[in-house]
Amino acid sequence: MIAALAVVFAAAVFWCLGYRAHARAAARQEAFRAEQAARLHGPHPAAVADEIALRLQALAEACCEVWWTSAGAEHDRPCTSRWATTVACCPQCAVEPGIPCRDDDGRPLAYAHDRRIQEAKKVSS
């Protein structure tokens, strides 16, 4: 009889201990879910700052803003003129690559003639 009481008492104690452990685990899981819900979702602010710095550096190294916004498909006129000046001779004013185009009086121009740009496109093709 004492053995039967001891078994029943032991079963009750083990059941209570197991129930408490389960209740604590459930409480921990609920706390973990609440913490995850309270956290901000998305990338870490330091990673965002690094990405912004890299993009600003790439923009500073771009040849022109039109090239940057068109993903390299187009250039603005001064950028195209710089490129044509370094690549091709100008058939209109007869200057070599690297020398700016000249007007009729021999003064250097801030842009390349359209014929030089066309010649540069032929050379690049």
112 falls within a domain: yes
- For 8, the domain range is 1-39
| Cβ(87)–Cβ(120) below 8 Å | yes
Tens digits of residue pLDDT in 57-99: 887 777 777 777 777 677 777 777 888 888 888 988 888 898 8
13 falls within a domain: yes
Kindly indicate the confidence band of residue 6, based on its pLDDT and cuts at 50, 70 and 90: confident
Structure-token match 């604590």, residue found: 24
| One domain for residues 35 and 74 | no
Highest mean pLDDT pick, 10-14, 18-22, 100-104: 100-104
Q: Which CA distances in Å does 9 have to 5, 13, 54, 111?
A: 6, 6, 69, 99
User: Taking the CB of residue 118, how many other CB atoms lie within 10 A of it?
Assistant: 13
Average pLDDT over residues 115-124: 85
Average pLDDT over residues 12-26: 70
* Residue with the larger pLDDT of the pair 19 and 49: 49
